[in-house]
Amino acid sequence: MTTPAADKKLESCRICKSKNLIPYFDFKEMPLANRNLSLPELSSGEPKFPLQLLFCKDCGLSQLSMVVSAQFLYEEYPYRSSISQTFQKHCKEIVENLTHKLALKPNSLIVEIASNDGCLLSKFIQAGFQAIGVEPSRVIADEATAKGLPTLCRFWGKSTALQIQREFGTPQLIIGTNVLAHVDNLNAFLDAVNTALAADGYFVFEVPYMVNYIETLEFDTTYHEHLSYFLLSPLKHILESAGFRIIDVEKLNIHCGSIRVIACKKDAAPVASKNVDAFLAMEKSQGFLKEDIYLGFVSRIERLREDLRKLLSSLKQGSKRIAAYGASAKGNVLLNYCGINQETIDYIIDDTPLKQNKFQSGTHIPIVDKSYLVKARPDYLLILARNFSEEIISKTSEYQQAGGHYIIPLPDIKVIESPYGS
Ligand code: TYD
């Protein structure tokens, strides 16, 4: 593991440049949520960085107070989108929805930013489009290319936009699911989208929605990769300043509540749907543009932390064995923030081969494959990839039939006792 290049303290709002930034949630020092450790790394120490949320009083953007270098964060990125059937289905829905809504013509060029292992890319290609992925992690880009999914291994920016134009043509659609929150320089990112996109093209992106974050207590999605936490209002501000217009927005269930935003160039023909003004009005009328809602959020999280710790410690006192499922970044934040470690959780199962036989950063809980569910059967399985609870419960039905129980930690702690006894 290399040591991080310079980390940057945020001086002003990433979107509106205001200095009116109110700190509201401080995790103190936290390890990197997606950086699992090998056995030798356990003893060599691991980097930790401040993790603190700020609210911009002027545009409503929540953002981290510090930016860890992207090079360092993404050099060994273990996340693979294709692992989840739920996400596979979601990608299929994206292709069907956008083909229809944007009247995409066969053979249109589509560019996906941060295409990961090509889950969405493959669905566009199957539907008859020409699709190119852009993915900064070398290992992941190579995996996608090996599957026959054309992928440029690059960070998104002006020179990538120009390379696409030179080598492939002008994209009719540029899409990014879960990438905008990772971007420090949003102006440069959007400027590159504007450079590459056809005059009558669309820029579509999905981001976790801050309204869901607050309402359903998604503090576990706060980690160093997620620099921004979006409402539609600050997005409108930055998109307009980059020469775009929002023409549609809709809520999605994926990743515990996201929004899909469709934008076009500012002088293009499409008329905005009524949803756009409705979202903007709701954010204002329900107080999401004022700091009070954010300050109140913190006491709810502290209460949840106490309740979860109490539940797990009472199970341990009753000699119950507890394991977890999904070595997700969310799970990392939850366990590290709650101070839950190996004394409580025996191991974490994850189906991603790259994560197995490693240790979760911070807590140092071992990450193992699914066979451990039989080899070392726990009494309780804490579902850390809580956004995929249904999928995980259905794929572990044998465990449940053998009397295994589940705990879903958020938004409210939910214990699902096995109907087959224990
Ligand atoms: P996810 O919640 O998608 O994201 P994040 O890391 O951003 O919080 O992570 C889900 C994790 O759970 C990922 O490591 C893959 C794992 N997982 C499985 O191992 N098996 C499964 O069936 C599913 C749905 C997820």
CA dihedral for 262, 263, 269, 274, sign (positive or negative): positive
Q: Considering just the CA atoms, what is the radius of gyration of the chain in Å?
A: 22
Cα of 140 vs centre of ligand 1, distance in Å, is 16
Cβ(173)–Cβ(202) below 8 Å = yes
What phi, psi does 324 have (nearest 5°)? -135, 160
Q: How many residues are there in the chain?
A: 422
Structure tokens at 347: 């191991």
Atom of ligand 1 nearest to the CA of 370: 19
Atom of ligand 1 nearest to the CA of 86: 24
Report the first-to-last Cα separation within the chain, whole angstroms: 43
Cβ(248)–Cβ(270) below 8 Å = no
Atom of ligand 1 nearest to the CA of 328: 6
Atom of ligand 1 nearest to the CA of 387: 2
Q: What is the pLDDT of residue 55?
A: 97
What residues does ligand 1 touch, defined as CB less than 6 Å away? 79, 83-84, 326-330, 350-352, 355, 385, 387-388, 391-392, 395
> Going by CA atoms, what residue is nearest to atom 4 of ligand 1?
328
Q: What is the pLDDT of residue 347?
A: 98
Cα of 352 vs centre of ligand 1, distance in Å, is 8
Cα of 112 vs centre of ligand 1, distance in Å, is 21
Cα of 326 vs centre of ligand 1, distance in Å, is 5
Cα of 317 vs centre of ligand 1, distance in Å, is 29
Structure tokens at 360: 């979760």
Give the neighbor-by-neighbor strand order of the sheet with 21-31. Answer: 21-31, 48-56, 62-64, 228-229
> Going by CA atoms, what residue is nearest to atom 12 of ligand 1?
326
Cα of 100 vs centre of ligand 1, distance in Å, is 30
Among the listed residues 316, 401, 323, the one whose alpha carbon sits nearest the alpha carbon of residue 366: 323
Distance CA 297, CA 12 (A): 23
Helices (H), 79-157: 85-101, 119-126, 138-146
Among the listed residues 346, 334, 349, 357, the one whose alpha carbon sits nearest the alpha carbon of residue 393: 349
Among the listed residues 111, 260, 241, the one whose alpha carbon sits nearest the alpha carbon of residue 171: 111
Cβ(363)–Cβ(327) below 8 Å = no
Distance CA 202, CA 197 (A): 7
Cβ(3)–Cβ(71) below 8 Å = no
Cα of 390 vs centre of ligand 1, distance in Å, is 12
SS3 (DSSP) at 325:
strand
Cα of 331 vs centre of ligand 1, distance in Å, is 9
Q: What is the pLDDT of residue 387?
A: 86
Residue among 84, 89, 367 to mutate when testing ligand 1 (max atoms within 8 A of CB): 84
Distance CA 121, CA 174 (A): 12
Distance CA 367, CA 36 (A): 9
Cα of 79 vs centre of ligand 1, distance in Å, is 8
Atom of ligand 1 nearest to the CA of 85: 24
Cα of 176 vs centre of ligand 1, distance in Å, is 19
Residue for token digits 């829905």?
93
Residue for token digits 């090998």?
38
Instruction: Please state, in angstroms and as integers, the Cα–Cα distance from residue 282 to each residue in 87, 215, 347, following that order.
Output: 28, 14, 42
Q: What is the pLDDT of residue 284?
A: 98
DSSP states of 207-247: EEBHHHHHHTT-GGG-STT--EEB-HHHHHHHHHHTTEEEE
Residue among 207, 350, 408 to mutate when testing ligand 1 (max atoms within 8 A of CB): 350
Residue among 253, 388, 406, 408 to mutate when testing ligand 1 (max atoms within 8 A of CB): 388
Cα of 349 vs centre of ligand 1, distance in Å, is 10
Atom of ligand 1 nearest to the CA of 386: 2
Distance CA 336, CA 33 (A): 9
Atom of ligand 1 nearest to the CA of 330: 8
Cis upstream peptide for 411 (omega within 30°): yes
Cβ(220)–Cβ(330) below 8 Å = yes
Residue among 32, 34, 74, 83 to mutate when testing ligand 1 (max atoms within 8 A of CB): 83
Distance CA 278, CA 276 (A): 5
Q: What is the pLDDT of residue 354?
A: 87
Q: What is the pLDDT of residue 2?
A: 47
Mean pLDDT in consecutive groups of 10 residues from the start of the chain, 422 residues: 65 97 95 93 90 97 94 74 86 96 94 96 96 94 96 96 97 96 96 98 97 94 96 98 98 89 96 97 98 92 96 97 96 97 97 94 97 95 94 95 96 94 70
Q: How many CB atoms lie within 10 A of CB 364?
A: 15
Structure tokens at 250: 């809709």
SS3 (DSSP) at 83:
helix
Cα of 328 vs centre of ligand 1, distance in Å, is 5
